[in-house]
Amino acid sequence: MTTPPVCDYEGSDYQTSFWDQGGRQYEDRAEAIALKQLLPARGRLLLELGAGAGRNTSRYAGYERIVLLDYSRTQLQQARARLGDSSRYVYVAADIYKIPLVDELFDGATMIRTLHHMADALGALTQVRRVLSPGAIFILEYANKLNVKAILRYWLGKQSWSPFSLEPVEFAALNFDFHPRATKQWLEKLGFHVEKTLTVSHFRIGFLKRRLPAGLLAALDGLLQPSGALFQLSPSVFVRASLGNTPPNKSTIPPLDVNVLDYFRCPACGDHPLQNRNEYLLCTGCGKKWAVRDGIYDFREALE
C-alpha cells in the first residue's frame, strides 16, 4: 500500500525550539483551556495521534491509559523521558496512514497540531475512525486557512491562494492549512457528529504577545473560544466530534488488565494478534518482525 510522504521529526528539537524557548506560552495555555472544555471527564483508553514529545499528554488525566503514537522515535523518547514507564502510557512509533492497532479499540482520540502535516487528510482521518469504538470522542485540532491574517493578505494582494476555497493549501512542504467547512465535511462523511467547535490562538500576533502576559492573553482567548460555534477566523480550530450519540460502550473497550500486545495488528497485512518474541513482535500472517526497543513498539519499518 502506497501512502503519502511523512513530515519526519526524527532528531528534531521541536519541543525545545518551538515550545520551551520559542515564546509560545500563550498558545500552549490557550490550547490547555480548549482541551479542558472539550475533554470528557472520564474515559478508558485514549489514542494520542502525533503525540510528539508528550506536551499535552498529562492533560488527558481523565483517561485510564494513553497510547502515544508518533512517527518519530526521538519525539517518543522525549515523551517517555517526560512521562516515564508505567502501565498508564504505551509508546508506539508508527505512521498515521497505517495505524498498527485493531479496529474499534479506543473510546477517545486526540490529534493536535498533526493534521496539518497530512497530504491526504481524509485518508488519515479514515484510519482514526477505524480504531474508534461507537460513541467514542475525537478531539481534532487543525490549522485554519480561513484566518483573519490570510484573508487580509489575500485582499491586499500579498497572497496568491484564496482562504475562501475549500481545498487545503500547502503553504510549506508538507504543511497544510484547511478550510473549516471542508474539515467538517470529512468528519461527517466518516460518521462523526461535530458536537463543539472552539476557535483558538486569536492573539497569535507578535506585537500583542510581546506586550501582554501569556496568562492574560490565554484567558482572553478562552473567552473568545466559544465563538467558534458561530464562525471560525482564528489560525487554530479545535473540534470535539463523536461517533454516534450514545456514550462509548465500556464493555467493548478492553479492560486495563488485557495484555497491551492484544492492541496491535500488523501494519503491513492487518493480521492480528502478533506474537511476542520479546525483542520483536512477529506477524504470522506475513512473517514481518516489528521491533520493541527502549520501551517503544516500533512499526515504522519491519526488521526483515
Q: Please, which residue, 16 or 276, has the CB nearer to ligand SAM?
A: 16
For residue 262, the minimal CB distance to ligand SAM (Å) is 22
Shortest approach of ligand SAM to residue 60 CB, angstroms?
Answer: 12
CB of 4 to ligand SAM, least distance (A): 8
The residue at minimum Cβ distance from ligand SAM is 52
Q: How far is the CB of 234 from ligand SAM (least distance, A)?
A: 16
Q: Which is nearer to ligand SAM, 118 or 253 (CB)?
A: 118
At residue 78, the 3 state secondary structure works out as helix
CA 136, 140, 146, 152 dihedral sign is positive
Could you tell me which of 184, 215, 220, 214 has the C-alpha nearest to residue 202?
A: 220
Residues 187, 202: Cα–Cα separation, whole Å: 24
**Residues whose CB falls within 8 Å of the CB of residue 17, separated by 6 or more in sequence, listed in order:** none
Q: What residues are paired with 197 via a beta bridge? A: 239
Q: Which residue(s) pair with 138 in the sheet?
A: 109, 241
**Interface with ligand SAM by CB under 6 A: which residues?**
6-7, 9, 14, 50-52, 55-56, 70-72, 75, 95-97, 112-114, 117
CB of 293 to ligand SAM, least distance (A): 17
Closest CB to ligand SAM among residues 58, 284:
58
Q: Which is nearer to ligand SAM, 71 or 142 (CB)?
A: 71
User: Looking at beta carbons only, is 56 or 147 nearer to ligand SAM?
Assistant: 56
Helices (H), 190-268: 206-211, 214-224
- Please give the grid coordinates belonging to residue 216: 492574560
